[in-house]
Chain A
Amino acid sequence: MAAIRLHNVGKAYGQQEVVRSVNVTIAEGELLAFLGPSGCGKTSTLRMIAGLDEVTTGEVWFDHRLMNDVAAGRRNVGMVFQNYALYPHMTVFDNLAIGLRWRGAGRADARRQVEAIAELLDLGSLLARRPKELSGGERQRVALGRALIKQPAVSLMDEPLSNLDAVLRERMRMELARLHQRLPVTTVYVTHDQAEALTLADRVAVMQGGDVRQVGTPLEIYNRPADSFVAGFVGSPGMNLFTRSWTVDGDSILLEGALRLPRELLDQVGSSGPTVTVGLRPEHLAPAAGDAPVELRCHVETVEHLGSHQQVHARLGDPTGPRLIARIDARMVVSRGAGLVLTAPTEAVHLFHPATTQRIEPAPAAPVAPPLPRPRAAADASRSPAAGLARSQGRSA
Chain B
Amino acid sequence: MSLRIPLTRGRVRQRLGDWGRGATTRRLSARRVRDHLAAYGLLFPALAVFTVFFYIPAVYLLYIAFFRWTILSPGTTFVGFQNFRILFEQPLFWGSLATSAYYTLVMIPATVLLALGIALLLRAGLSARRGGLWRGAVFLPHVTPVVATSIIWVWIFNPHFGLANAVLSAVHLPQLLWLESVQWALPAVMIDSLWHSLGLYVIIFLAALSTVPRDLLEVARLDGARRQQVFARIIWPLISPTTFLVVLLATVNSWQAFSQIFTMTGGPHGGAGGPAFSTTTDALLVYQTAFIYGNFSLAAAMSLILFAIVMSITVVQKWISDRLVFYR
Contacts of A146 in B (CB 8 A): 219
Per-residue CB contact flags for chain A residues 73-99 toward chain B (1 = under 8 Å, else 0) read: 111011101010101110000000011
C-alpha spacing A88/B328, complex, angstroms: 7
Q: Which residue of B lies closest to A104 (CB)?
A: B224
State whether A52 touches B218 (Cβ < 8 A). yes
State whether B237 touches A73 (Cβ < 8 A). no
In the complex, B234 has a CB within 8 A of chain A = yes
State whether B216 touches A102 (Cβ < 8 A). no
C-alpha spacing A307/B250, complex, angstroms: 68
Tally the A-B contacts, defined by beta carbons under 8 Å. Answer: 57
C-alpha spacing A103/B222, complex, angstroms: 11
C-alpha spacing A85/B218, complex, angstroms: 9
Least distance between A206 CB and chain B CB atoms (Å): 26
State whether A102 touches B224 (Cβ < 8 A). yes
Least distance between A11 CB and chain B CB atoms (Å): 16
In the complex, B326 has a CB within 8 A of chain A = yes
Set B220, B226, B237: member contacting A89, Cβ < 8 A:
B237
How many residues of chain B are within 8 Å of chain A by beta carbon?
Answer: 19
Least distance between B326 CB and chain A CB atoms (Å): 4
Per-residue CB contact flags for chain B residues 231-258 toward chain A (1 = under 8 Å, else 0) read: 0011001100000000000000000000
Least distance between A107 CB and chain B CB atoms (Å): 15
Contacts of B218 in A (CB 8 A): 52, 72, 79, 81, 85
C-alpha spacing A79/B229, complex, angstroms: 19
Contacts of B213 in A (CB 8 A): 85
In the complex, B223 has a CB within 8 A of chain A = yes
State whether B216 touches A85 (Cβ < 8 A). yes
In the complex, A284 has a CB within 8 A of chain B = no
Chain A contact-residue range equals 20 to 34
State whether B328 touches A77 (Cβ < 8 A). no
Contacts of B233 in A (CB 8 A): 87, 98
State whether B221 touches A99 (Cβ < 8 A). no
Q: Which residue of B lies closest to A88 (CB)?
A: B328
State whether B222 touches A78 (Cβ < 8 A). yes
Contacts of B234 in A (CB 8 A): 87
C-alpha spacing A310/B219, complex, angstroms: 46
C-alpha spacing A81/B218, complex, angstroms: 10
Q: Which residue of B lies closest to A143 (CB)?
A: B219
In the complex, B106 has a CB within 8 A of chain A = no
C-alpha spacing A102/B234, complex, angstroms: 12
State whether B222 touches A72 (Cβ < 8 A). yes
Show the binding face of A for B, using Cβ within 8 Å: 50-52, 71-75, 77-79, 81, 83, 85, 87-89, 98-99, 102-103, 132, 146, 150
Show the binding face of B for A, using Cβ within 8 Å: 213, 215-216, 218-226, 229, 233-234, 237-238, 326, 328
Interface pairs (16), CB distance under 8 Å: A52-B221, A52-B222, A71-B221, A72-B222, A73-B221, A73-B222, A79-B219, A85-B215, A85-B218, A87-B216, A87-B219, A87-B233, A88-B238, A88-B326, A102-B225, A146-B219
Other contacts beyond A74-B224, A87-B216, A89-B237: 14, CB < 8 A? A51-B222, A52-B221, A73-B221, A77-B222, A79-B219, A81-B215, A87-B234, A88-B238, A89-B326, A99-B223, A102-B223, A102-B224, A146-B219, A150-B223
The 10 closest A-B pairs by CB, nearest first: A99-B223, A85-B215, A73-B224, A89-B326, A89-B237, A102-B225, A72-B221, A85-B219, A81-B215, A103-B224
